Amino acid sequence: MDGLTLLIGNRRTSSWSLRGWLALAKSNLTFDTELVLLDTPETHATLKALSPSATVPLLKTPAGAIWDSLAIAEFAAEHCPELWPSDPHQRALARAACAQMHSGFFALRDQCPMDLQRAPEPVELSDKTRRDVENMQDLWTSVRSGEGPHLFGAWSLADAFFTPVAERFRAYAVNLQPQAQAYCDTLLNDDTFRVWKEAALAETFQTVLD
């Protein structure tokens, strides 16, 4: 499909942009990427003119705009079904894991915002954040297929949704169970993610952590 443009926020901090970008970058779709600087006086008006959510990521297609990282991931999977596990039950679990990430773990998000330029340094986690860390590891254990280094063997959209989590755990030096740490190492060493991180490390403009 031609004519796709993905609008993203600052690579350093925009975790949802990273998820949408990974979904498309791992698909067979060709797309352009356009950066919208976040937290400027023009940001809201620029995005509001394109979608009701006024958020990134936002995918511009010949048929119209698609906003929200989960919707963009599903759009990519429509054209590249192998982004989801082939087994129906595993596919349902992958979708459930993505949905849980999409709508939860707010304490972890608030206390440990993604910052790809942050040198690893621990912080005193709140009780709610520690609970989120425990629940995250329990989720990974409960859905893991055991057939490969990713949650469902081969890379899937579920891994796109948890890559920013792995970055949070790295940046805040969170102690993890060995299996969870190995999974995070797999995500952070992914070649596609490394392309994004290299660009994030090169960013020099000011950004607000989110």
Of the CATH numbers 1.10.3720.10, 1.20.1050.10, 3.30.200.20, 1.10.10.410, which one belongs to the domain with range 84-194?
A: 1.20.1050.10
Please give the mean pLDDT across all residues of the chain. 94
CATH H superfamily, domain 5-81: Glutaredoxin (3.40.30.10)
Distance CA 42, CA 36 (A): 10
Q: Where in the chain is the domain with CATH 1.20.1050.10?
A: 84-194
Residues 27 and 9: their CA atoms lie apart, in Å, by 20
Mean pLDDT of 16-45: 92
At residue 41, the pLDDT reads: 83
SS3 34: strand
Size (the chain), residues: 210
Which residues make up the CATH 3.40.30.10 domain(s) of the chain? 5-81
How far apart are the C-alpha atoms of 50 and 55, rounded to whole Å? Answer: 9
Using one digit for the tens of pLDDT, what is the confidence trace for 129-163? 999 999 999 999 999 987 899 999 999 999 999 99
> What string of DSSP letters covers 117-132?
TPPP------HHHHHH
In degrees and rounded to multiples of 5, residue 184 shows phi and psi of -60, -40
Q: Which amino acid is at 201?
A: L
Q: Do 5 and 60 contact (CB within 8 A), yes or no?
A: yes
pTM: 0.94
Sheet holding 64-67, edge to edge: 32-35, 5-8, 58-61, 64-67
Which of 143, 145, 115, 137 has its CA nearest to residue 182?
Answer: 137
